[in-house]
């Protein structure tokens, strides 16, 4: 039966090549855009290098202080003092990584300006993040306590600053008018990963700002690594208990801060509402994006139905039920949609290869992995059903006499 439906579907596609082209173009273009966007989002939110422990990590990226009487508020990253004095005292996490937001500094190599993004970290940062060290190793707690001017640099920075040379461990690099001794080189990180991205990592104790200054707000973030995923709710509860006891500064009367999963840490609200809000926005976007080609395909399918009215009339005259005709047309439409999906997948692979080779976002590699492919095929199935149900229902409602006269 399915084989016959497939043959009929191919014959119908060949009958009106222009309409077929429009249908396949709409389907393949829509799915190509969805697959490419999904690949980007998947790369952005998944546990990728060097943040391979995202599944058992919580992030503290924002503090919010409010003046409830005057309706004033201040939001931003935490200070090193806040994270070391309060967050590092948590008992449940296995490790607490503390790092500043990266900041650009200028240096000059062969009379050419080079922008180096600098990040200050504690020693636990290198345990929570799993960087691939091409040369050397990270700085130790003792080197941090001694305020040694040592640095870990990215592979890109090594190439841009030192050129195509061998081992650079032991050499010096200048950033922010300070000479740092290179002790390690790591595989470069995409800039779209702000927690772990930098060109040069140095101990927080060499920072020119006073990291001991006892204010709550600053320029640092923390990643809390749990021993297992089951400990994440315990860490959140423990952190919430500590936040409730902290007195806000600078005249504010309420402090708000949460330890969230990676994605939720960049959205305001509690974690459940954050994920729900994001899912709703993404769902609405996908629905609206698919609506236009779906309506276009419905109109084309209705036109095709009118062309096949005599076939429908004959089949009804010989006893074909409405449900049989509906099932046939929906299957035909799904076959058409899957043909468009195959074209869309091929186009997606080509576009992703072009994006990767163009180095549009340095060190980011997009791919159509299994998750992306399954989401694309699911969208394809939904697309086929949405665009096929109403025309199929219209076809099943045709009267035999009307259908035969229409030809």
DSSP, collapsed to helix, strand or coil, labels residue 369 as coil
Domain-located, residue 65: no
Whether residue 219 sits in one domain with residue 81: yes
pLDDT per residue, tens digit, the chain (407 aa), is 666 666 666 666 666 677 677 777 777 887 788 788 878 878 777 888 999 999 999 999 999 999 877 677 889 999 999 999 999 999 999 999 999 999 999 988 888 899 999 999 999 999 999 999 999 999 999 999 999 999 999 999 999 999 989 999 999 999 988 999 999 999 999 998 999 999 999 999 999 888 888 899 999 999 999 999 999 999 999 999 999 999 998 788 899 999 999 988 876 545 445 555 555 665 666 666 666 666 666 666 666 666 666 666 666 665 556 566 666 677 777 777 778 888 888 898 898 888 888 777 778 888 877 776 777 677 767 766 766 666 666 666 655 445 445 44
User: In the numeric block, which tokens belong to residue 57?
Assistant: 């990590």
- Domain co-membership, 343 together with 216: no
Q: Which DSSP letter does residue 260 get? A: B
CB atoms within 10 A of CB 227: 12
Q: Classify 157 as helix, strand or coil.
A: helix
Q: Does one domain contain both 395 and 300?
A: yes
Q: Which residues contact 259 (CB under 8 A, 6 or more apart)?
A: 58, 59, 60, 224, 235, 236, 239
- Please check whether residues 193 and 312 belong to one and the same domain: no
The answer to whether the peptide bond before residue 50 is cis (omega within 30 degrees of 0) is yes
Angle at 363 between CA 34 and CA 30, to 5 degrees: 10
pTM of the model: 0.77
| Co-location of 223 and 277 in the same domain | no
230 and 141 both lie in a single domain = yes
251 lies in a domain? no
Q: Indicate whether 13 and 91 sit together in one domain.
A: no
Residue 75 token pair: 């939001």
Determine, yes or no, domain membership for 91.
yes
The total number of structural domains in the chain stands at 2
Is 25 domain-assigned? yes
Cβ atoms of residues 352 and 39 within 8 Å:
yes
The verdict on 17 and 106 lying in the same domain is no
Same domain, 20 and 136: no
Residue 186 lies in a domain: yes
Whether 252 maps to a domain, the answer reads no
Residue 164 structural domain: 77-237
Q: Are residues 339 and 391 in the same domain?
A: yes
Q: Which among 220, 237, 254 is the end of a domain?
A: 237
Based on the fold, state whether residues 297 and 179 are members of the same structural domain.
Answer: no
Q: Is residue 191 part of a domain?
A: yes
Same domain, 29 and 115: no
Cα angle vertex 43, ends 37, 46, to 5°?
Answer: 125
Q: Which phi and psi angles does 210 have, rounded to 5°? A: -80, 100
Please identify, among 193, 216, 237, the residue that sits at the C-terminal boundary of a domain: 237
């Amino acid at each position: 039966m399915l084989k016959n439906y497939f043959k009929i579907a191919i014959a119908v596609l060949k009958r009106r090549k222009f309409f077929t082209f429009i249908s396949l173009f709409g389907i393949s273009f829509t799915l190509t855009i969805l697959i490419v966007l999904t690949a980007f989002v998947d790369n952005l939110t998944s546990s990728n290098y060097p943040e391979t422990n995202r599944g058992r990590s919580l992030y503290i990226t924002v503090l919010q202080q409010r003046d409830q009487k005057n309706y004033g508020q201040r939001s931003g990253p935490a200070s090193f003092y806040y994270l070391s004095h309060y967050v590092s005292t948590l008992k449940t996490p296995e490790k607490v990584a503390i790092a500043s937001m990266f900041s650009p500094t200028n240096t000059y190599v062969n009379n050419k300006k080079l922008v180096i993004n600098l990040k200050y970290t504690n020693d636990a940062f290198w345990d929570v993040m799993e960087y691939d060290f091409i040369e050397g190793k990270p700085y130790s707690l003792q080197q941090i306590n001694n305020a040694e001017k040592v640095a870990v640099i990215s592979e890109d920075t090594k190439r841009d600053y030192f050129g195509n040379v061998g081992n650079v461990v032991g050499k010096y690099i200048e950033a922010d008018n300070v000479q740092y001794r290179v002790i390690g080189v790591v595989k470069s990180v995409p800039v779209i990963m702000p927690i772990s991205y930098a060109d040069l990592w140095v101990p927080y104790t060499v920072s020119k700002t006073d990291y001991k200054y006892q204010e709550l707000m600053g320029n640092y973030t923390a990643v809390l690594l749990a021993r297992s995923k089951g400990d994440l709710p315990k860490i959140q509860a423990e952190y919430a208990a500590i936040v409730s006891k902290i007195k806000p500064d600078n005249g504010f009367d309420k402090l708000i801060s949460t330890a969230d999963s990676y994605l939720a840490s960049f959205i305001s609200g509690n974690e459940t509402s954050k994920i729900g809000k994001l899912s709703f926005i993404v769902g609405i976007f996908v629905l609206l994006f698919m609506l236009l080609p779906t309506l276009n395909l419905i109109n084309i399918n209705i036109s095709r139905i009118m062309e096949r009215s005599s076939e429908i009339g004959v089949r009804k005259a010989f006893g074909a039920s409405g449900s049989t005709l509906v099932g046939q047309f929906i299957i035909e439409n799904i076959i058409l949609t899957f043909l468009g999906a195959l074209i869309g997948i091929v186009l997606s692979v080509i576009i992703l290869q072009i994006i990767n080779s163009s180095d549009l976002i340095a060190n980011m590699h997009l791919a159509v992995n299994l998750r992306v492919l399954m989401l694309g095929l699911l969208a394809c199935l939904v697309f086929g059903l949405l665009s096929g149900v109403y025309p199929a229902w219209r076809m099943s409602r045709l009267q035999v006499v009307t259908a035969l006269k229409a030809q």
